[in-house]
Structure 1
Amino acid sequence: MADRNKVKLVQALVGAVVLTVLMQGMTLLGMLQYIWMLFLPLLMFFALGADFKKIPDMLIGYAVGELWCVINSLVSGAFGAAFGDNPLLSQLIPTILVIFCILTVHENLFEGQVFSNIPCIFMGMATSFMMLFMQVPITYFHLFGFWCYGLVLAVCLVLSGMAVCSAIFGKERAMAALAPKAPEDK
């Protein structure tokens, strides 16, 4: 078995244990049915390159997405009051306008700034829509708390995996094995 595979095998075992243990916090809080929410920030963290420096952008982006959900609800409510039950005018047009505003504001005006993490903005908006449309008994604050806790899990996963692999294989071997493969190495 290649050295890289051995290190990754140990990392996988450590990660499985760490994530499973830390997820029990949701059970202790009586929110077992929302454990799935913890995987969304994990997914986003690793999709964005597992870069700790991106965590503030991820937190702000998610909260901004929740805010855009509120704005979308207000705009849809205003259009609904003006145009009644017409789904095109009361729901589709307002949502098109809000998404246009999100992309214009965050990709153009805030490009490269802390408010420009479009994937996290849409994740915050999407989970907020889910909360509203499915009428689950949680709030925006719960969603943001789940997002934060999921990011804590991501950090713990990376740090614990690196610590254990470094202790077993040495820091240099562990770092070399856990570094992403270059495209020509794949």
Structure 2
Amino acid sequence: MAGRACLIKSVLSALPLYYLSFFKLPKSVCNELIKIQRNFLWGWGSVDRKIAWVRWENICKLKKDGGLGIRDIGNFNIALLAKWKWRLGIEGHGLWKEVLESKYGSWRNLNETNISRYASRWWKDIHKVCGNSEHGAWFEKCIGWSVGEGEKVKLWEDTWVGDESLSTRFPRLCLAPGWVHGIGDL
């Protein structure tokens, strides 16, 4: 069992790594990959169906939480795509970033509800995962800002004090005339 779990982690989870880091995995493909992993773990190449003694969600937990530490392919795919949005927001300069910003605008455009139909498949997939669409705005809820010199932080929209943005905490003040287009856009 330990050898099969090791093979699943090192081979079956690693083979689709390149694809997972660039494209949103279709649900049917994700389910098929999980099925292959599950059958290999419990059946070890046997033609007959074997009994799964533990739920797959529990198998995918970390070892310290009682699982085998096998990656959940769907969550791993989302994490790899989210890393691109994070890198676009964090990294200073680079040719790859300048090309993307010239074509699509800032990484903050991924938060818009509508995305251009001319956008690449990759950009649309990142929008599905990290934008305000299929998975909700989970990405924005999970990051916080360190203000520093304030070049990248939006005063009203970003969460930099506490656990919510100032526009959420003080909606009446944010909607006051002159504030949003005045001080709020610093």
TM-score (norm 1): 0.30
Query: Which one scores higher on RCO, CA 8 angstroms, separation ≥ 6?
Result: 1
Question: Greater share of helix residues, 1 or 2?
Answer: 1
TM-score (norm 2): 0.30
